[in-house]
Structures are given as C-alpha cells and as structure tokens.
Amino acid sequence: MDQNNKETDVQVYASPEDFIELRQWWMKGLYNGFEKMTPEEACKILFQTAKSCAINFGRVLEKKYGRMTDLDSLIERLDKDAKTADGYTIREGNVVRQLFKPKGKCICPLVQKGFIELHPYHSLCSIGSMIYSFEFFTKQPIVAELVEAPCWGHQDEILNYYLYAPKREVIWPDGRRIDVSEIKI
C-alpha cells in the first residue's frame, strides 16, 4: 500500500466476498501448519479457538432449548442437539458420553462448508470446547477421551468425558495421553 496515499479508509479488498476468501485461505494455511506441530502444540492453539466456539455454541443451544444453569441442564441440551445427528449425550455418574453419527463427516460447520480440511488435530477443537463447557459448570479438571472420530477414519464420533479429574488430559484413539493441564482456556 502506498504510504503517501492521503485517502482515508483505503480498502485492499473490493468486496465482502474477497474478505471471506482471504479468511478461508488464512485458515487453510493455519491448518496446513498443523503437520509440523505436536499434539501438545496444536492444543495450545485449538483450545483457544475451542473456547470461542463453545461460547458461540452455548448461545445457539440456549436459543434453541433454553437457558443453561448447571451441568445437568448443559448435558440435557447437548443431548437434544446430538439427537439431530442420530446421537446422544448422557451422564453416567462422573462420566459424560457423547455419540454422533455424522456418517464419516465432521460435525464442524467450518469443515462442512469447506473452509478447512479435516485433520486429526481438528478433533482437539471439539474436545476443547466440551472441556471448556463442562469445566465452566464443574470448576474442576476434565479428562476427555476421543474413542472414534471421522478425522481418524471412523464413521461415528464417540467421546467420553471424565468429570472431576485430578488434572486435565486428552486421550487419543491410539491410547496416547496428552497433558493439557497447563493450557489456560
């Protein structure tokens, strides 16, 4: 951009569509960078996006199903929403189980709309948003276990969340444990 240009509000992008395209390319570039990261490094980024996603999704759930005041009301609304994908969200003691049947597709609208490509680390965003949501109500660490997910080559998405855990962790489908207790969300 010409530093000598005295016009105000000079716009690089001619239209909102151009800006949307830029954001799409920017996000694809970010996701391509995941190939060079460890899962722990990816968590540091994706748990931040997950918090924003959880806040937005919480607003959507409240708009559709009413205000959430505690952990049980959150689980009830998550279950109603999961049923739209032939799934469920249930609580069994200190374990919350989620199942979605997206038929091999990711449930994330960013993937569905083609803004980003499906990547195994993408499941960290989904996991992070649920950890944030559950910890918001429990005020205690959560262990999230990803049992199956489309980004790992499965047809369904199955997750277990262990409430009131000693520290926050993520368990991958291959059994590897990732300590995410130091990541602030």
pLDDT at position 5, please? 47
Is 61 a domain residue? yes
pLDDT at position 7, please? 47
Q: Which residues pair with 96 in a beta bridge?
A: 91, 161
As a whole number, mean pLDDT of residues 142-169 equals 89
Which band of pLDDT confidence, cut at 50, 70 and 90, is reported for residue 169? very high
Structure tokens at 108: 């994330």
How many whole angstroms from its chain centre is CA 26?
18
- Amino acid present at 135: E
Is 1 a domain residue? no
Does the pLDDT of residue 1 top 60, yes or no? no
Which band of pLDDT confidence, cut at 50, 70 and 90, is reported for residue 14? low
Rounded CA separation 141/131 (Å): 8
Which band of pLDDT confidence, cut at 50, 70 and 90, is reported for residue 8? very low
- Asked if 131 and 161 touch (Cβ cutoff 8 Å), the reply is yes
Which band of pLDDT confidence, cut at 50, 70 and 90, is reported for residue 12? low
- Asked if 140 and 165 touch (Cβ cutoff 8 Å), the reply is yes
Which range of residues forms the domain containing residue 26?
A: 16-179
Per the model's pLDDT, the better-predicted residue between 34 and 56 turns out to be 56
Q: What is the CATH number of the domain that holds 166?
A: 3.30.1380
Is 184 a domain residue? no
Does the pLDDT of residue 101 top 60, yes or no? yes
Which residues make Cβ contacts (< 8 Å) with residue 68, sequence separation at least 6? 58, 61, 62, 74, 77
Q: What is the pLDDT of residues 78-92, one digit of tens each?
A: 999 888 878 899 999
Q: What is the pLDDT of residues 22-49, one digit of tens each?
A: 777 777 777 778 778 888 888 888 888 8
Structure tokens at 125: 């965003």
Is 170 a domain residue? yes
Q: What is the pLDDT of residues 104-136, one digit of tens each?
A: 677 777 788 877 777 888 788 888 989 999 999
Is 9 a domain residue? no
Per the model's pLDDT, the better-predicted residue between 140 and 22 turns out to be 140
Q: Give the number of domains in the chain.
A: 1
Is 27 a domain residue? yes
Buried b (16+ CB within 10 A) or exposed e, 164-173: ebeebbbbbb
Is 153 a domain residue? yes
pTM to 2 decimal places = 0.78
- Amino acid present at 40: E
